[in-house]
Structure formats: C-alpha cells, structure tokens
Structure 1
Amino acid sequence: MTQHFQQHMTLPLRRVLAGAIASAMFMVAGMASIHAQENEPAPAEQSAETPKPASTPAPTTGVPSEQTASGDQPEQVETPPENADEQTTSSEAPKQSNISKPVMFDPAMVTDLARNLAAQPFENPHRELPEALSTLSAEEYAQIRFKSKRAFFNPAETDFSLELFHPGTMYDVPVTINLVRDGEVQVIPFSVGLFDFGKTGLSGNDFTTQNYAGFRLRYPLSDVTSNDELTRFLGASYFRLQGQGQSIGQMARGLAVDLAGPTGEEIPVFREFWIVEPTDGADTITVYALLDSERVTGAYQFDITPGTCSQADITAHLFFRDGVEKIGIAPLNGMFLFGEQRRRFFDDYRGEVHSSDGLLIHNGRGEWLWRPLENPEHLQMSAFLDENPIGFGLLQRDRNFDHYQDLERRFDQQPGYWVTPKGKWGKGHIELVEIPSPSETNDNIVAYWVPETKPAAGGEMQVEYSVTATRDGTGLHGMSQATDTRIQRLSSQDDDDQAGTRFVLNFAGGDLDYFIKDAKKLRADISTSEGEVHNIRIMPDPENGGVRVIFDLVNTSDATSSNLRAFILYQDRVLSETWTMPWAF
C-alpha cells in the first residue's frame, strides 16, 4: 500500500547592505539606470545618446538611494518614446563620461545579496500606498495598463518584450527592476508616463510612488504576429506561466513558509529582479530574483522558454535567518470551487468552476497517483510520503468547454503546472492543502514539496526544478487516466442496512482501447483504509472511450474518515494510474 496519509483539520530595503556587504560593493559602483521619460514622450530631436537625467534615480535593493557606493551618479537611459515613428530602441545604451566602471552583472551578485540580507534584521517590505491606489478594486486596478508602445527590448532583435505593473490595490511592495544589457546592470526608475490609467479617473499627478509592483514578459505564442503573455511576476513571490493556446489560470510561487500551520503563514516576496535582455534570436529569457521574508531569503534564477508547453527552469539558493517548521518547495496555487461531483451546492449556471481539477504525482517508487481536488467544508491537508519524487503538478484535465460554459474565464484553456525536480530531493512529502472557499476569487488549492529535514537558523539550501505549463498532462505517462469522479450518498433501505457512499469513476486513454475488446478480463482493484468496499463493477464506457468503475463504501466501525485507492488491471497487468481520495464518513 502506498505510503500516504490524510489529515483532516477543522497570507524600502535601503539600509540592508549599507556598510554590511563590502564584498559586493565594487559591483554596485557606477550602477546604470534606465530613465523613463515622465508623462511626455521624448522629443524627436532628442537622441538616446543625450538623455535627460532623472532627478532622483531609483535605488537598487542593496544601495542607499542618495548615491552609489562610490558616489558616482548612475547612468541614465531613455525608454522608448510613445510615438513609434520617433522610437529609439531601448537597446541603445548611452555613454556618459562620468561613468568609468559600469556594474557588470554576475549571478553570484544576487546570491551574495541574499546571503548578506539574511544576516540583517528583517524589514517589512510593505509600504502604505496613496489612498487613490490602495482603495482600487480589482476591476479598477486592471484599468491601469502599461503602454504597449513603451515596451522594453528591441523588436528587431528579439521576440520578447517587457512590460511593467503599477502599484495599487493589494500590490503594495515596491519592487526594484533592473535590466542586464550587454552584461551591464541598468535600473528602471519609476515613471507614471509608462501607464494608461483608463477609466479610473486617476493621473500620474494624483500621487507619488517610488517603484513598480512587478512585470510581464510577452512573446508571440499563437503566431508570429501575436503579442501573448508568456509570464508575469506580480505580488509576493507569485508568478504565472502560459503556453500556446492557454489562457491565464493558476499560479506558482517562489516559496511557501509554514502554510496552513498553527502559527500562521509567512509570505515571502520578490523584492528585486534582474532581467537579462535576450540576445538576437534567443529562444530563452533569464530572470534573476531576490526573495525575502521574516525567516528566509533567497537568490533565484528563472530560465524561461516559450512554446506549446512553456517552461521555467528554476534554481533557488535559500538562506535562513531563523529556523522554519515547514518549508514548501515549488509551490503551486490553484482554484477549485466545484466540479462534477458537486459535494457543496452553488447556485451557478456553470457546470464546473476550477482552474485545476486534480493533483498528479509521480513518486520515487515509479507509481502514478491521481488525487481529485475538493472544496471541503473544513481545511483539509493531505501528505504523500516520498523519497526523491520524480514529479508532481496541479492539472486541469477536463478540457470540454460545455462542462464550464464560461466564455470569460475559459477554464477549458487554463494551463496545468507540472514540477520536475532536478537531482535527488531526498525524503519528505508532497503536501496538498484544500481550503474551504465560497468564491472563485480565492486560490484555495496549494501543492508543494516539504523536505523531511527542517531548515535551521543560519542554514542554507539549494534546489533546482522546472515548472512546465501543460494543457492536461497528456504525454507525462502512457497509462490510462482517471478522468471523472462522481459521488452519491446512499440511503438505508431498512433498519438493518447501513447507508453508504457510491463512487463512479471514469478511466480513459492509454492501452484501454486495446484491452477493452476483452473486457471480461479487466478488473478494478479497490482498497480502503477504513470501512468496506461492496458492489464493485467495471464496464465499457463507449462514450468516453474507456471504462467506468462503480463501487460502494460502507462504514463498518466508528472511524470518521478513510483513504480510498483504485486502479485498473488486465489480468495482472496494471493499465491505469492510481486514483486516490480521502473520504469523511
């Protein structure tokens, strides 16, 4: 029996490096800056070779805002003007005589920042926004859009483009964003002139702010003329990734700390980014990030490759200010309001509402597990014990639009995320957290890896993995998949009968099409940790091209919950992944 147990249970860094990281100071001297023209586009006669300097350049995380470590003024670079005909490409870095030693980027620079940051007292990164921004609704905030004609990177050299997010609503952490251009670090100072405030009634003169909230990378995923969103980093350590034909859906995180723990969750944030401008014709873009929270800091590298299944290859080097009870590696965030089983009632015209419908696990023993998601009545946590996991992910298997009937959210097109560990992760468990939710606005599903060894104060950890945006996980394995889970409470027929629960499972794909011709030799292996399984039936399902398994679960003791498992065999040959689910009597 799989080692698996189920538990039921009833959200300015200006002084950090001043005088604290002498080893990294030489890299900060002469920090360049990209100047974003305030409010008005650059005049046609003004060349990028002679930019108008910003009055106060935006500081990087590790540098006091008044000046660089050496006292030199940062170099200024114009962003592309709003008028496309007058556009000077943002790849043309100017030259200034007072900059003798530009900062040349080295990935070790980010690691040094994280290491030294962990040696300093934690400083809360959240800042009070002007009321005009903090009171914006989600719909109003969406009206503030980056002007696409001001996007960074030269379209003659790369298909990637960079856009920025304005602070507002819940996004109150000032994020420093740097470009790495020809190896040189250049800061992007904040500019309201890069944004269109839509119907909010706001303008850049209504408030002052110091930095951005995050960024978005675009790439022509659909066709060569499109400008699709590839990824966005916005809020805490969240990021999204999309492949060809996919719409915005679930999210991933940089790290989870004590999520759903008794002391409350600690939420790390990405405070600074270094985005490497792609070389001519490059099909991968690299982003470095500095993570910070009360007890942990981290240096991250994201190598992002667009495609049918876009992928981010991630390296994280973590440093711990203090011990952590539970660290969550490669966290994935999804939303599940209701599915075909409809265990909770929602007055909704849509048949299903979710961005993910199951957790797929390929454990270190080679077994494939499928765990359907729920919107439980109480907080529910599941732990899947493992050693050196091969992969796990939150997937959206149901791709039938008719099941959702949502033309706006397009749940049928939203991506699933698959995590592939690199190297051996050792002992631990994959944890699934399902949080009761009354609304689709809540991302109430989280899955991540928890190492068995708890991080200690002063310790560090390195981890590598990839996150792939896939449609339904097809191709991850060649076995039959559990595609549907339907549940019915049974009523007692007389006083001597015990009421039970009926489970109806559909399996399709793999080799079932071949073996279904000899359906009499197909059998379903059903097991339960508590109670008894009765009335097992398996039958061909020509409508779905697979088989249907039906069984009843009856509680024969005073147990309050059970763990169920089911898979399909042809004689002794396993044809399907293992369906598994907790059940509360």
Structure 2
Amino acid sequence: MITRHLSIVLVVLAAVHVNQPIRAERPESNTTEQTSLTSVRRASKPELHVSDFEDLKALARQTAATAYVPEPPLIPVLAQMNYEQYREIQFRHDQGVWNDSRHPFWLEFFHRGFVQQDRVDVYQVNHDSRSGAAKQIQYYPDQFHFGGAAADLNVPPSVGYAGIKIAGRFEPEGDPQELLTFLGSSYFRSRTADTVYGTSARGLAVNIGMNQDEEFPDFRSFWVQEPSPSDRTVRVLALLDSPTLAGAYEFAFDPGATVSQMDVRATLYFREAPDKLAIAPLTSMWIWGDGLQGPPLDERPSVHDCDGLLIHEGDDWTWRGLARLPYPSVTSTAVRDVQGFGLLQRDRDFEHYRDSNARYHERPSVWVRPNDSWGQGRIELLEIPGAHEGIDNIGAYFVSDTPVDGNHPMELNYTVFFFSDEAALRSAVIPIDESGSQLLTCRAFDVKRNDERIMLELEFGQPDPDDGDSIASVDDFTEAVDAHGITDHTPGFVDAAAQLIRGKLIDQSVERTATGYSVMIEMEATEDAAIEIELTLKDDKGNRMSETFRYLCPHETPTFTYPAVYTRQE
C-alpha cells in the first residue's frame, strides 16, 4: 500500500480561476444599502491611521468584528470592456510614486476593467509621516494612457485602482523593471532577473478544491513603506477581507538576480470558521507536455509554467509530475511537519517548448518555506482541465489537520522564493538523503500507450550545480552514485520500487545512462479511473537513491476540445 498518500477525484468544482481571476457574480439585491455601507467604511478612513503591522492587526480585528460588505459593482463602461480594450490601458511610468533617482523602488498601478473589477485603496507611509499617519494615493485617469481600442473610454475620477506593482532594479546597477505585482483577489507574483512572470502565489484560499463555490478573499487596501536610498527590501502591508475572515498581512520583498524572496507575516481574524483553509497557496498552468500530446496543429512540445510539485518533509522528498485529466482532481500528501513545498519548472530546455514569445523555459519556480511549524496536515495538488494556456489550472497549498478555531486569531509566518535554476536555492530544493548525499531527481517522463498497456518512461539524474538548465556530468553522477556504496555499474543492481493503485504492474526495467538512470514500467489499468503511481530508485541494499516520484496517470488518453487559436479552425 502506498503510505501517507491519498488520491481523490472530484467530479464537480464550481470555482475556476484564471491568471487574473474572473470573480463570481455578487448578489444584486440591496445594492444601494451595500454601496452606502461601503461609503461609510471608506469615509471613516481608519486606514489613514495604519503605519505598521500592529496598526493593521487592530484594523483587521475591527473589520472581522463587523459584517462583511462587498464592493459595489464596477461601472458598466469598464465592467463590459473586452481584453483588447483593457490591454490598451497602460500606466504612465512618469506618474509613479517615488519614481526618482533617490528611491531604489517605486510604485505603479493597474487600472480596473475587464476581469479586474475589484477596487483596492493604496496608501503611502513616508519617512516624515508622524506615527499613525498614512497618505492615500488618489486615482486620476491622467495617470494612464488610453490607447487603441480604449482611446474613446470616458472614465470618471472615482474609479480607483485594481492593483499595484513594485518597480525597481534586481541589481543596484541594473535596468529598471517591474519586480512584483498584486492584482486580483489575493494574488501576487514576482520573478528574478533571469525569469519572466509565471507561477503566482496567493495570500489565502478558502474552500478550494471542494464540491462548492470557492471563496476568494480580497486584498482591499495596501500600505507601501517609502524605501530609503540604501534599502534592498520593500515593505507592503495589506488588508485581506472575505465573508468568513479578515486578515493583516505584512510582506518584505527582496528582489534578486537569481532568487527573489518574499517574507510573509499574517494574522487572520474569523467571522466564522471556514470549511477549509488553504495556507500559502500557489497557482500555475499546465496544459500539455510530459505524458500528454498537444493539439495536432500546434508544434510546441510542451506548454506549462511548471512541471511538478516538490514536497520536503523530514527525510522524505516527493516529486509529483503534473497531469491534465478531463475532470478536476485533488491529490493529497499527508505531512507531519513540512519543511517546504513548491511548484517547480525543472525543464529549462528551450527546445522542449519552442516558444520565443511565452518563454516557458524562463518561467520561475516558486518555493514555500514555513518559518514556524505548521504541524500535521496535508499538501494538496488541485488539477483542473483548463481550456487554454491563459487559464491557471494548477493549485498547491497546505491544509492543517487541526480544524480552524473561529474564536481565536491565526498567526502565519513563511517565506516564498521565486527562482530560476535549482542551484540558486540549492539547500531548499535539491533533495538529499539522511547522510547528506544528493538524491537523484526526476528530470523528465513520458507516457506511451497501445490497446492494452501503458508504458511510463522516466529519466532520473541530478541538476547541474553550476547550471540549472542541464543535468550533471558523468563524473558528477558517478561520484554521487558511489556515495551510496555502489561499485557495480551493470544494469539490474538498482531497483525501481513501484507501487500502483487502480493498476497492475506488468514489467519494469532500469538502465544506467551517462547522467543517471532510465526507468520503464509497463502496466495496465484495473479500473476505469486514473492509476496512482509511486516509484523510488533503491540500491541493492534497499537504500534510497532518488526522491519518490508520484503521478496520477490517466487510464486512457485524455481528449480535449481546444479553442480555434490551437486548432486553427473556427
């Protein structure tokens, strides 16, 4: 039996989020009353008295003690915008807050419209502000350029912002670039100097991966601390609000050439206990690649922001390859005290993507490290079909085994890393065994089928310590293998210990390669359902040589209806 692991298939999931999520419809009743309550909340402006995390915690506690008030609907001229109009609205860089030679970071904004319909209030906390004083940054249409399809829009000055972006330099002498964004619900994402935007993080997820509507908490307000000339860290406070809770968040962001680090502190106050609380959620996209062919007329071999979920707990390292089933699924890995988890883009070979525009080979990996123990719980991986690559269809997050106590606040303290190659965050994401020897990792896999059987082919090796875009050399690999006390290099001394659920193992083989091992397992389904696979390489003494590979393999080739952009057909 596969230990401490459970695979669940969900037939219905009501809430699907995209890169910039489309929000669920809000009730149309009591619109006047809601607008009035919102106006009162904004008019009282307790937000102006927030200058540090303790002030924000007091505001979040006060917010949770009152009834939840949804935002009023966005005016139709913006709510009914199409994508072409929205992409033509661009912030004018010269309007950025602190955009001068004295500040290492400055603040810019996103406009409301299209799917970005919720408003955020933004405040600046300057060095010369008296304690308890923050200054709200006012929205003006002149801060934006309305070009092309958006040129004729008539936007009133009361609209406000949809989100914020932090700009600056990854290195002191580098070019100015966009470093960090907060846009849509509680989503935020960053990158490094050698990556482009891809996998995102979220402040919180409520009732995700269940047979009910997901609740999307919103960052309603932001306070950005004015950076000093010598600062390499920018600090942002954010107020989270939703029907079940309110939260105070503090972000300390340190951008880097190879690793960008976001330290997160939060205190949650509950209006009521949610059915399910997902901590430190990540969201990403996987449409085709390992084990799944794309549409016939699209020549790209792979289309994804990440290629697997890595989980580290104690001496256990688990890599779950991603799949795209024609229905939503949730897989769950039990953890006693997780050291970290993340959605990684291990495959960085351009030829495996062949997309110079999307640059999937340059998407960042994202790793979450708890700074306090989260206790027993589970890491869930949510995979939904997704119609195209513009939709985020992958989610990963921690859920505690301890039910939420709605009568007491919850404290969170963790760090999110955005990075390129594994060597850049070596101590966190390169698996090692109990003796400190580096374990082999799954570098690639493929699925082949005939009428009766399924063949799973895997390649195990090691990331190059000097270049995360490739695997280790023959000498590096031989040295690592010899660390396990293995001197016989003939095939057969290594065992691919495989276990299956809903499948029968027919045959398996292990072959030594120049950079690792090639493994093939042949199986057949025993049920009309996906096969759960667990596999670990072991030496002739039963010692682990690799991380544990897991995969939810479709029992038959999944079929999808692709939009015209892929099929080239109407």
TM range (shorter): 0.7 to 0.9
Structure 1 counterpart of 2:521, from 551, 554, 567? 551
Structure 1 residue 400 displacement after superposition: 0.8
Write the deviation string for residues 271-322 of structure 1: whole angstroms up to 9, x where unpaired. Answer: 0000001112111011000001111111000000011210100011111111
SS of aligned partner of 2:198: coil
Percentage of pairs with the same residue: 30
* Structure 1 residue 513: Cα displacement: 3.6
Q: Give the Cα–Cα distance (whole angstroms) in 2 for the partners of residues 434 and 558 of structure 1.
A: 20
**Do the aligned residues in 1 keep the contact of 2:383 with 2:394 (CA within 8 Å)?**
yes
**Match of residue 312 from structure 2:** 362
Q: Distance in 1 between matches of 2:488 and 2:421?
A: 28
Summarize deviations over 1:366-396 as a string: whole Å, max 9, x none. Answer: 2110001111111111011112111000111
Counterparts of 1:15 and 1:458, CA distance in 2: 25
Q: Which secondary structure does the structure 2 equivalent of 1:519 belong to?
A: coil
What is the distance in 1 between the residues matched to 2:554 and 2:289?
Answer: 18
Q: Which residue of 2 aligns with 1:541?
A: 513
Q: Structure 2 matches for 1:308-319, cutoff 5 A?
A: 308-319=258-269
Match of 2:441 among 481, 486, 510: 481
| TM-score normalised by length of structure 1 | 0.80
Q: Are 2:104 and 2:229, in contact at CA under 8 Å, matched by a contact in 1? A: no
Change (3 A) 1:434 1:423: same
For 1:554 and 1:203, how far apart are their aligned partners in 2?
A: 60
- State the AA in 1 paired with 2:114: T
Asked if 2 retains the 8 angstrom alpha-carbon contact of 1:295 and 1:324, the reply is yes
User: What do residues 27-78 of structure 1 show as CA deviations (whole Å, max 9, x unaligned)?
Assistant: xxxxxxxxxxxxxxxxxxxxxxxxxxxxxxxxxxx5516xx68xxxx9xxxx
State the partner residue of 1:218: 167
Letter of the aligned partner of 1:503 in structure 2? L
Encode CA deviations 1:150-181: one digit per residue, 9 max, x unaligned: 21115333321211111111111111000110
Tell me the number of residue pairs that the alignment of Structure 1 and Structure 2 aligns.
Answer: 497
Match of 1:512 in 2: 477
Give the match for residue 61 of structure 2.
Answer: 115
The residue type equivalent to 2:66 in the other structure is Q
Structure 1 gaps of 5+ residues are: 19-61, 75-101, 492-498
Q: Is residue 74 of structure 2 the alignment partner of residue 124 of structure 1?
A: no
Question: Conserved in 2, the CA contact under 8 Å of 1:222 and 1:228?
Answer: no
Residues 535-565 of structure 1 deviation map (CA, whole Å, 9 limit, x = unaligned): 22111333xx22210111234x558444211
Trace 1:86-235 onto structure 2 (pairs within 5 A).
Answer: 103=49, 105-125=51-71, 127-153=72-98, 155-182=100-127, 183=129, 184-202=133-151, 205-221=154-170, 224-235=173-184
Whole-Å separation in 2 of the counterparts to 1:558 and 1:104: 58
Residue 114 and residue 16 in structure 1: after superposition, are their counterparts in 2 closer, same or farther (change >3 A)? farther
SS at match of 2:422: coil
5+ unaligned residues in a row in structure 2: which ranges?
16-33, 431-437, 464-475, 556-570
Kept after mapping to 1: 8 A contact 2:139/2:157:
no
Tell me if the contact between 2:281 and 2:396 (Cα under 8 Å) persists in the aligned partners.
Answer: yes
Counterpart residue number, 1:502: 455
1:290 and 1:436, CA in 2 relative to 1: closer, same or farther beyond 3 A?
same
Q: Report deviation, 1:472.
A: 4.2
Query: Letter of the aligned partner of 2:446 in structure 1?
Result: R
Is it true that 1:304 corresponds to 2:269 in the alignment? Answer: no
SS in 1 for 2:291: coil
Aligned residue in 2 for 1:578: 548
Q: CA deviation at 1:519?
A: 2.7
Q: Does the 8 A contact of 2:337 with 2:375 survive in 1?
A: yes
* RMSD of aligned residue pairs (Cα, Å): 2.4
- In the TM superposition, residue 436 of structure 1 has moved relative to its aligned partner by 0.9
Q: 1:134 to 1:420 in 2, by over 3 A?
A: same
- Are the aligned partners of 1:395 and 1:472 in contact in 2 as well (CA < 8 Å)? no
Q: Which has the larger radius of gyration?
A: 1
More displaced 10-residue stretch of structure 1: 307-316 or 221-230: 221-230
Partner of 1:326: 276
Alpha-carbon distance in 2 for matches of 1:273, 1:104:
10
Q: For 1:438, what is the secondary structure of its paired residue?
A: coil
CA contact (8 A) 1:292 1:298 kept: yes
The secondary structure found in structure 1 opposite 2:259 is coil
Q: Write the deviation string for residues 218-244 of structure 1: whole angstroms up to 9, x where unpaired.
A: 122277241122100011111111112
Q: Which amino acid aligns with 2:456?
A: F
Normalising by structure 2, we get a TM-score of: 0.82
Shift in Å at residue 490 of structure 1?
Answer: 3.1
* 1:413-562 mapped onto 2 (5 Å cutoff): 413-474=362-423, 475=426, 476-477=429-430, 478-491=438-451, 499-509=452-462, 512-514=477-479, 515=481, 518-520=488-490, 521-542=493-514, 545-555=515-525, 557=526, 560-562=529-531
User: Does structure 2 retain, via aligned residues, the 8 Å contact 1:17–1:116?
Assistant: no
